[in-house]
Structure 1
Amino acid sequence: MRAFRLLNDSVGNSYFEEGVLPEYLSIPSERFIIQTKIEEYQKHQHPAPRVQYVVTLKGKLRFTTSDGKQFILEPGIILVAKDIHGEGHSWEIIEGEEWHRIYIIPDEKEDDKFVSY
């Protein structure tokens, strides 16, 4: 499954990698959160609040990392957010008015299974 992973470099800036997650993936998780509310984070730089997988159900978004690079997130693409330090990333909805998503918070010690291109 296609995926993007947000990370921090050695000085805390965010950047992304494009890659895939295995077709069958089972990772122990702590929580599962469904969210549709659009909060104040949109368009403002912020780090991820914790390591998390983000599964988009509805919406098309543009993410921008602190290095200025961008990628598009939409249903069918998983985001692995690991940029938990520094200024982080921003996002904005570019199609529609809603972003329906699921956050899956893995156990901290688990490997994210991400394979970059």
Structure 2
Amino acid sequence: MKIISKTVLFFCLAFIAPSLHAKENHGSFKSVKVEESEGKMPAIRLINNADGTCTFEKGYIPTLKHASTTTFWSSNKTEDWEKNAHPAPRRQYVVTLKGNIRFKVSDGSTFLIKPGVILLAEDLKGKGHSWEMVHSKSWERLYIPLQDGADDLFVADH
């Protein structure tokens, strides 16, 4: 199975599906049991420093842990303003399906996101980050916003 398919299947089954089926009668929510697993997906998290600049940290997101999400959407279009420095519009996972994207943070450091690596965008203030496609003509991705105050499940490498 291609890594793209594994990434999409992982997010749809582990993160989205349980949240979409959590409603019971009269709009109340039931608790979803968190599965225990030793698996992990590589991830990079964009965060703000105390002074408002943007940096990143590498880590992972454990598999089969349920994130608090209610929706997602896909995109394969990019606009010029998106390539300029900007903060994330919301806390969200960005799952790359196709393309290689080099992100740049405030101090000039860069990292590469490719299919199979999850981006967690949490740099909500300041100048933010910028990005460019590397050896790619398009960037196909899923945006999966986290609910306010929800655990992002990210575990930083040490």
- Hey, what's the Cα distance between the residues in 2 that align with 1:104 and 1:12? 24
Fraction of identical pairs, as percent: 45
Q: Does 1:80 align with 2:120?
A: yes
Count residues in correspondence.
117
Partner of 1:24: 64
More helix by share: 2
Larger Rg: 2
**AA partner of residue 151 (structure 2):** D
- Hey, what's the Cα distance between the residues in 2 that align with 1:66 and 1:33? 28
**For residues 56-111 of structure 1, what are the alpha-carbon distances to aligned partners after superposition, in whole Å with 9 as ceiling and x for unaligned?**
00000100001111000000000000001000000000022000000001111111
Q: CA deviation at 1:42?
A: 4.1
- Hey, what's the Cα distance between the residues in 2 that align with 1:59 and 1:79? 13
More strand by share: 1
**AA partner of residue 91 (structure 1):** W
TM-score (norm 1): 0.96
- Say what the alpha-carbon RMSD is for the aligned residues: 1.0
Larger relative contact order (CA 8 Å, sep ≥ 6) = 1
Q: In the alignment, is the contact (CA less than 8 A) between 2:73 and 2:142 conserved in 1?
A: yes
Partner of 1:41: 81
Structure 2 unaligned regions, length at least 5:
1-40
Q: In the alignment, is the contact (CA less than 8 A) between 1:59 and 1:98 conserved in 2?
A: yes
Q: In the alignment, is the contact (CA less than 8 A) between 1:42 and 1:92 conserved in 2?
A: no
TM-score (norm 2): 0.72
Q: In the alignment, is the contact (CA less than 8 A) between 1:41 and 1:90 conserved in 2?
A: no
